[in-house]
Amino acid sequence: MSKSEKEWINSLAAALNVDVPTDEERESLLALAATAAHLSERTAAPISCWLVAHAGLTAAEGKELADRLAAEARE
């Protein structure tokens, strides 16, 4: 039986011994993923989120950076 999104995230966070993202962080991550997926291929979304986290940025900072890159791509 598959888990709901919330159940999966809670299980993964517990296994990693980290807090689950706040509602605001969740929205920023989803927005970052959407930006990445729309400017590239869908597979860029999870890797972009990983890169942001790996760089030590918050989800909001990552979304801001993605928005800036998106704006540059439109120029």
pLDDT digits (tens, 9 = 90+) for 43-73: 999 999 999 999 999 999 999 999 999 999 8
Measured N-to-C along each axis, helices 44-54 and 59-74 cross at an angle, to the nearest 10 degrees, of: 120
Q: Would you say residue 1 has pLDDT above 90?
A: no
Average pLDDT along the chain: 94
Whole-prediction pTM: 0.84
Q: What is the 3-state secondary structure (H, E, C) of 29-60?
A: HHHHHHHHHHHCCCCHHHHHHHHHHHCCCCHH
